[in-house]
Structure 1
């Protein structure tokens, strides 16, 4: 219920209890010291790096689902996104399709992939299974194993096969483990393991760990997934957790109820339904070890897969709003599944999870885009701009956040469907901390919070913020600092989100993001700041004193300089949300710089790379300005300073090709969708049904398939139907369960034979199909029987501009 304007709401929270002292030696991990003395550690509350608290971001990228020629490019983009650890499944069925015949070549070359991680300065976390799920048939266990022995147990023959597989992995990783100077810092065993039958249970996880260590997989960290009543041996492994914005593995054809992932986890780290394939009616082991293990994340959805019976489409805030909630719940490793999409290896035409082979879900044969921040082709999706500022925040202040305990308000939501009770938390340590607030729940409108102030009781005082009540609109989420040190200054609070810090010749520069609909307010502790002034004529701000506290209120886009009592100066840049989503922080020309651009920006071997899909013009803003004009692969114009930013404008010659679409056959009436399988819900039509699909020949000039002078080009297909498939001759090169989003196929990401016909088929969607589609993308209301039509096919170029350091620099 909204309160009248004259009745402000004070949201209080008591964060005065002393932070918990970490317990050490609660976990038996592996060798944690590198040859040069660096360490990776773990205590009961957080990870450590070289003995210091460490709160990194981890993202899943399956090397087997990305062509090996694209690994380095993908990892450079991942690094620029603010991610520090790359996790990846080792999918057994790909590597040992027949007993004793191993394949570690091309896109299956695990060693080369981990070496590529090291080259890009990324840590690696290897998820060795042997059962991994990954939306793969039998969870990745080869069919020849499943056919002859009980799996996921201590069956002697199964363990013999597992040990041989682990030994092969160890051979691939020889010299690449942390103890040898390599990037591999952790091993995950099994996945979603909650089995308690004969030769199963926690003892099986202990066996897998023993086998891994016996073959030489000795790492600082060993983990298991902790959700869905998982079982594991105490002290031997650290549980990791996750959560998803929607349930594509669900059975309902209706919009999902509010997801628990948008509510703070004050009582348990275990989330809701994460799609586990097995079930355990008894409580799992995760909650029992919460005081001995840190809250680590490995599967917070960077998107969701599209499954046959449910095809949700996520908005960027559906993913981004999870971060303040989970960080505010105490997460001290934020891990995505997935960060980067891909495609199943060519030729593995029956390797996807499917109800036909006993799986719970039906997945596309090839495509694994996942609506991830980087899609199946490595293209950046809009959600990346929402996430990157939070990653940068964790890079800069994660070590401060890691030591902070979680404090809950007295009044908590009754459950995930309670949208009225405000959702917030504080993580604090003494008189410093961060306020986390969320007013976003996917597909469910939250109320406007009118006349809100926060009262946060810390160790020695209570901080009220902001200075006057504010209104918080539906969909808003934020992280605000309390007691944050900024060089020689100290904030009492700010109503803007900290993003990053730069060291420049003129002093420290801090970047903050404004919160939409709320004025940015920087309240400085008395005695720290003697003067505040705008940095340029374009910057607008007001200052006043509130109860002895100096308060600065800059407008979005403004820059101001605070002179500290020790005569040092700090620069504070406030960027509006639409600009912060364009921000990257990249090393170039000798130092870290702010880079503002609509293009995807990343660093590669000392060069600054910009990529733009569809647009042949680039605008680039850089701070601090470069001392010398860079060298570019394209002609550029250096414009006058835009405030404190140096601006460059670059245009490249546009490239265009026409795509021909020729009908080959019309669709036939398809039978009703059957229900069945383990989920007792809609199942993908039988293979014979696909002969009734409509078909078109797609004519693309051979030169267009080579993407001349481009980093890539995409066939962008928009259609209405049930299932789309694209063939080069007889080879299926990509497929797509219709969800309303454009279907993008990178010409450099799939193998298209220019001598063969390119054929697109669309299986009709029946008006009565029992599948879930978001209402905004559902074509069924406009049809009487079925639909299979092409709405458009285009060739979309991806342009690239590369800046190199000037020879005069």
Structure 2
């Protein structure tokens, strides 16, 4: 009965039974301090953006936003609006973007802000749809761009990343031109731009460098006209900066594609909860600082803000990790439980590197960079891919984003509390990884039992004891599955009804004519345990414990509503989603009201239209709460369905043009002293095929995707002499969106695959290695198909 109450997965490899874990979370957090951080104008027509030593504020209230990186120069301008709306639908509230200098200044002295480089239009689209914007203009951005984005001619005749007068003159020209583009769009003017990051991964020290250079850049930005509520710097890899003038932002990735190692890296620290330092280890800074960085010493004065928590990882030539959604969501859960008060992702939206007059400007070891990346492809395994396709990691992250939107104002004021026993380090997989964020009276309990590429033990009969001001909260024994990762509430005020604890994760708060509805999600199979304050009455069977708390055992169901009424008559309803439904959940303002939509399709809201898209399926089905009268048929209460089109995926015939030659040995060297991307002439050994996709392949709405299942080293797609895309093989099917190439359809295209040598000193995940034949080299196509993406537009009646 006890395990039936909690309903978490039992596994035969469970750790030893009857484990009691404790944390003292009774102390109130220290009062937040203000005045020590010298930011810009905080007040504008849209309200006030503030910052204190512990958290951000918006209009005086604690604020914990979600920020996602989306590079405007890496996506065609025609697609920007829909992609911004997709980010909003996924729970992102701030769009951040590098302004990558060499993707804007295409010739010496000529800044081009037109077309796909029209920063002003991009920011205006963010504003149009209620999204804030965080500007990251470098001047050194990295972003896997050549020379970190600094144009070749600036690198050639100045001393970049220093107070060199010639360099600062170039930066002044670039930043001044950019400032003219965003005039009137700063927060103080009623625009969406709330922040500016100064430089990136800066740890240089010496004449004209160091903290003084960051101070110089900030002063230059202010003098040009960048007056924003927040000024930040990246805080990892021994970053140094003038404290009080800028605020450090943190990050962390679940693998290191920039590593020179050709095997698994072992347990990463990002799966641990942080109680000593906010700074992650190596995040791939191109320089190495000799001194201790400033971020740890700044902890008491600055909130724990993030900017580069990896929503994916890039694929680099020498190292090609392949992520599972839980790899990302578990690390994010751990960082939130560590005290993060701005959840910032890099990248949230993948992209494509632009070619300049056919010339690639990506980072390569041959040009002095530390990494080799594809010339064009910058998919990043992100929640939104290179072509805007919604990836599986989106479903794993969205419930966390909706949780922060609904309850983040409470979480922001809570500080992380260290349990009595914590893991000894990254490699300690035996000790439970957990944390509590508390304000002394209430709390959220975070558990992470997943570490990428490491077998975590399931745990039986874990007893959590959380000491708060009014006493110790003791949860009943629970079983924690291997790879479980979740957040549970303790003493959560649900509109006047106190939820003492729940073995389910809060997701969002809705309202309808009958009042508020709080939505939770099960964090394991089976039933969920709920405990309410004494005197609460429930609409489901319940019992009382010795302390008078009202306990219920609830089977998760998206269609079942539980009513809880407090002793004083205040009433709320709860819905507990099962795990599968939580992955299908979307929350947003739909038809003028915040609603929950459950569907296998991808969706976004565009004004008065709900847009659903899905690949390869013609039947759309979804449910909505609160219900609405819609333009599509209602199958039963709150459930809707419609069919769009008839075409399904079909194979594409490829005609061989030439067989593969023998690929040259992969060279080891470069700054990383690791496998280097083959030189251009190596592609003479590539196998080649020809095929034609008819113009009729594109459906009326949505997109169509070319999916290529191949084995090899580097694949490239050409229309004549123009390369459309490229990819390093990592075990995934290569998916290419065709709408952006609509004008090129109907003509023969060429696909080339450079053979992958069996002795290539590169890293592939084990699941990818298993796909390779036991031959000296491989360059083959296993299949190619055309997959239509259908679109259903729903309106209210």
TM value normalised by structure 1: 0.95
Q: Return the alpha-carbon distance in structure 1 between the equivalents of residues 542 and 683 of structure 2.
A: 66
- TM-aligned CA distance change 1:6 to 1:672, over 3 Å: closer
Residue 311 of structure 1 contacts residue 772 of structure 1 at CA under 8 Å; is this kept in 2? Answer: yes
Question: C-alpha displacement at 1:594, in angstroms?
Answer: 1.2
Q: Return the alpha-carbon distance in structure 2 between the equivalents of residues 560 and 708 of structure 1.
A: 43
Q: Return the alpha-carbon distance in structure 1 between the equivalents of residues 240 and 692 of structure 2.
A: 54
User: What's 2:108 paired with?
Assistant: 99
Question: C-alpha displacement at 1:543, in angstroms?
Answer: 4.3
Q: Return the alpha-carbon distance in structure 1 between the equivalents of residues 466 and 658 of structure 2.
A: 67
Q: Are 2:58 and 1:49 aligned?
A: yes
User: What's 1:509 paired with?
Assistant: 517
- TM-aligned CA distance change 1:300 to 1:6, over 3 Å: closer
User: What's 1:687 paired with?
Assistant: 680
Q: Return the alpha-carbon distance in structure 1 between the equivalents of residues 14 and 244 of structure 2.
A: 53
- Aligned pairs (5 A) from 1:29-68: 29-35=39-45, 38-68=47-77
Question: C-alpha displacement at 1:42, in angstroms?
Answer: 0.6
User: What's 1:202 paired with?
Assistant: 211
User: What's 1:339 paired with?
Assistant: 348
Q: Are 2:790 and 1:794 aligned?
A: no
Q: Return the alpha-carbon distance in structure 2 between the equivalents of residues 751 and 140 of structure 1.
A: 29
Q: Return the alpha-carbon distance in structure 2 between the equivalents of residues 576 and 728 of structure 1.
A: 47
- TM-aligned CA distance change 1:546 to 1:497, over 3 Å: farther
Question: C-alpha displacement at 1:564, in angstroms?
Answer: 2.5
User: What's 1:448 paired with?
Assistant: 458
Q: Are 2:389 and 1:379 aligned?
A: yes
Q: Look up the SS of the partner of 1:365 in the other structure.
A: coil
User: What's 2:496 paired with?
Assistant: 488
User: What's 1:663 paired with?
Assistant: 656
Stretch deviating more after TM superposition (200-209 or 780-789): 780-789
User: What's 2:691 paired with?
Assistant: 698
User: What's 1:760 paired with?
Assistant: 751
Q: Return the alpha-carbon distance in structure 1 between the equivalents of residues 106 and 785 of structure 2.
A: 38
Q: Are 2:229 and 1:226 aligned?
A: no
- Aligned pairs (5 A) from 1:133-212: 133-212=142-221
User: What's 1:652 paired with?
Assistant: 644
In the TM superposition, what whole-angstrom CA distance separates every residue of 1:447-502 from its partner, at most 9, and x where no partner exists?
1111101000012211001x2x1211110011000110012210111111000011
In the TM superposition, what whole-angstrom CA distance separates every residue of 1:531-554 from its partner, at most 9, and x where no partner exists?
2114xxxxxx65454531101111
Residue 764 of structure 1 contacts residue 786 of structure 1 at CA under 8 Å; is this kept in 2? Answer: yes
- TM-aligned CA distance change 1:546 to 1:494, over 3 Å: farther
Q: Look up the SS of the partner of 1:478 in the other structure.
A: strand
Q: Look up the SS of the partner of 2:596 in the other structure.
A: strand
Stretch deviating more after TM superposition (341-350 or 377-386): 341-350
Q: Return the alpha-carbon distance in structure 1 between the equivalents of residues 511 and 101 of structure 2.
A: 46
Aligned match for 1:729, one of 720, 740, 748: 720
Q: Return the alpha-carbon distance in structure 1 between the equivalents of residues 624 and 719 of structure 2.
A: 43
Q: Look up the SS of the partner of 1:285 in the other structure.
A: coil
User: What's 1:547 paired with?
Assistant: 547
- TM-aligned CA distance change 1:672 to 1:477, over 3 Å: same
Question: C-alpha displacement at 1:350, in angstroms?
Answer: 2.1
Residue 349 of structure 2 contacts residue 383 of structure 2 at CA under 8 Å; is this kept in 1? Answer: yes
- TM-aligned CA distance change 1:68 to 1:419, over 3 Å: same
Residue 495 of structure 1 contacts residue 519 of structure 1 at CA under 8 Å; is this kept in 2? Answer: no
Q: Look up the SS of the partner of 1:147 in the other structure.
A: helix
In the TM superposition, what whole-angstrom CA distance separates every residue of 1:557-600 from its partner, at most 9, and x where no partner exists?
14311122233321110011110111112223331111110001
Q: Return the alpha-carbon distance in structure 2 between the equivalents of residues 475 and 658 of structure 1.
A: 37
Q: Look up the SS of the partner of 1:39 in the other structure.
A: strand
User: What's 1:677 paired with?
Assistant: 670
Aligned match for 2:255, one of 229, 246, 254: 246
- TM-aligned CA distance change 1:659 to 1:220, over 3 Å: same
- Aligned pairs (5 A) from 1:581-660: 581-626=583-628, 628=629, 630-631=630-631, 636-641=632-637, 646-656=638-648, 658-660=651-653
Moved beyond 6 Å, runs of 4+: 1-6
Q: Return the alpha-carbon distance in structure 1 between the equivalents of residues 339 and 16 of structure 2.
A: 35
Aligned match for 1:771, one of 734, 756, 762: 762
Q: Return the alpha-carbon distance in structure 1 between the equivalents of residues 292 and 403 of structure 2.
A: 35
Question: C-alpha displacement at 1:779, in angstroms?
Answer: 5.3
Question: C-alpha displacement at 1:410, in angstroms?
Answer: 2.0
Q: Return the alpha-carbon distance in structure 2 between the equivalents of residues 60 and 145 of structure 1.
A: 26
Q: Look up the SS of the partner of 1:73 in the other structure.
A: helix
Structure 2 runs not aligned, ≥5 long:
1-10
Q: Return the alpha-carbon distance in structure 2 between the equivalents of residues 516 and 282 of structure 1.
A: 45
Q: Return the alpha-carbon distance in structure 1 between the equivalents of residues 742 and 660 of structure 2.
A: 27
Q: Look up the SS of the partner of 2:622 in the other structure.
A: strand
User: What's 1:538 paired with?
Assistant: none
Structure 1 runs not aligned, ≥5 long:
535-540
- Aligned pairs (5 A) from 1:403-418: 403-418=413-428
Question: C-alpha displacement at 1:349, in angstroms?
Answer: 3.1
In the TM superposition, what whole-angstrom CA distance separates every residue of 1:2-51 from its partner, at most 9, and x where no partner exists?
99999511110011122111110111000111035x10011110001011
- Aligned pairs (5 A) from 1:113-152: 113-152=122-161
Question: C-alpha displacement at 1:754, in angstroms?
Answer: 3.5
Q: Look up the SS of the partner of 1:182 in the other structure.
A: coil
Q: Return the alpha-carbon distance in structure 2 between the equivalents of residues 422 and 654 of structure 1.
A: 51
Q: Which has the higher contact order (CA 8 A, sep 6+)?
A: 2
Q: Return the alpha-carbon distance in structure 1 between the equivalents of residues 199 and 94 of structure 2.
A: 19
Residue 192 of structure 1 contacts residue 226 of structure 1 at CA under 8 Å; is this kept in 2? Answer: yes
In the TM superposition, what whole-angstrom CA distance separates every residue of 1:51-110 from its partner, at most 9, and x where no partner exists?
111000000000000100101000111111111000000011111122321100111000
Residue 733 of structure 1 contacts residue 751 of structure 1 at CA under 8 Å; is this kept in 2? Answer: no
Question: C-alpha displacement at 1:681, in angstroms?
Answer: 0.6
- TM-aligned CA distance change 1:765 to 1:780, over 3 Å: farther
TM value normalised by structure 2: 0.96
Compute the RMSD of aligned alpha carbons. Answer: 1.6
Q: Are 2:513 and 1:521 aligned?
A: no
- TM-aligned CA distance change 1:728 to 1:127, over 3 Å: same
Residue 525 of structure 2 contacts residue 578 of structure 2 at CA under 8 Å; is this kept in 1? Answer: no
Stretch deviating more after TM superposition (558-567 or 479-488): 558-567
Q: Return the alpha-carbon distance in structure 1 between the equivalents of residues 50 and 17 of structure 2.
A: 49
- TM-aligned CA distance change 1:781 to 1:590, over 3 Å: closer
Matched residues, number: 783
Question: C-alpha displacement at 1:232, in angstroms?
Answer: 0.3
Q: Look up the SS of the partner of 2:633 in the other structure.
A: strand
Aligned match for 2:375, one of 346, 365, 378: 365
Residue 23 of structure 2 contacts residue 418 of structure 2 at CA under 8 Å; is this kept in 1? Answer: yes
Q: Return the alpha-carbon distance in structure 2 between the equivalents of residues 655 and 2 of structure 1.
A: 46
User: What's 2:469 paired with?
Assistant: 459
In the TM superposition, what whole-angstrom CA distance separates every residue of 1:652-677 from its partner, at most 9, and x where no partner exists?
12225552210000000111110000
- Aligned pairs (5 A) from 1:237-316: 237-316=246-325
Q: Return the alpha-carbon distance in structure 2 between the equivalents of residues 425 and 180 of structure 1.
A: 41
Stretch deviating more after TM superposition (174-183 or 616-625): 616-625
User: What's 2:440 paired with?
Assistant: 430
Residue 729 of structure 1 contacts residue 756 of structure 1 at CA under 8 Å; is this kept in 2? Answer: no
Q: Look up the SS of the partner of 1:69 in the other structure.
A: helix
Stretch deviating more after TM superposition (545-554 or 14-23): 545-554
